[in-house]
Amino acid sequence: MRGDDFQQQVWALLDEIPFGETTTYGELAERLGDQTLAQQVGKAVGQNPLSIVVPCHRVVGKDGKLTGYAGGLKRKQFLLDLEEPATVKAGRLF
């Protein structure tokens, strides 16, 4: 994957998000050492050229809401639902 050093760092963090889990742009920025980088992290996430292989769909807004995804928010929700652990699904009423 081609990108600048910052993009490469963000994409490496995306690759570390476990299956069935999510994180936020702010949490990724904190892992890079500066929470104020959240918007730049979002831009780098959006420029991920391998969005299925490098799981950018696992990144959500700070309030847990879905935010941009190149494949559309419906597809992002589908992927998150697909990965949701059975124990979490069983605990939901709807």
Please identify every residue annotated as catalytic: 56
**For 1-94, where are the alpha helices, taking DSSP H only?**
5-15, 25-31, 38-46, 73-83, 86-91
Q: How far apart are CA 74 and CA 72, in angstroms?
A: 6
Collapsing DSSP to helix, strand or coil, 86 comes out as helix
* CA nearest to 82, candidates 74, 70, 71: 74
